[in-house]
């Protein structure tokens, strides 16, 4: 599974757990304060997932750059030291 997809699945699971857990825990309608807290948790979870995805993207790009640079360096013909 692709890293970004895996992080999105994790974020969705966290959001769903937050929603269902809060509703199950509270047997009655939530107050505005409780609803605000849930929205804030969801926003934080989404931001964390986005941050992790960005960091993974940067790591992947660094790795790709390293590999391509090393490959290009190996392809260069070195001049002979003996005429």
pTM score, whole prediction: 0.53
Count Cβ atoms below 10 Å from residue 35 Cβ, excluding itself. 12
Query: Residue ranges of the domains in the chain?
Result: 1-54
Q: Beta-strand (E) ranges in the chain?
A: none
pLDDT in tens, 35-68: 999 999 999 999 999 999 999 999 999 999 999 9
């Amino acid at each position: 599974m692709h890293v970004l997809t895996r992080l999105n699945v994790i974020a969705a699971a966290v959001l769903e757990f937050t929603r269902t857990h809060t509703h199950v825990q509270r047997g009655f309608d939530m107050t505005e304060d409780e609803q605000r807290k849930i929205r804030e948790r969801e926003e934080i979870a989404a931001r964390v997932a986005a941050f992790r995805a960005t960091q993974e993207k940067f790591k992947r790009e660094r790795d790709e750059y390293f590999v391509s640079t090393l490959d290009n360096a190996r392809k260069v013909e070195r001049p002979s030291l003996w005429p």
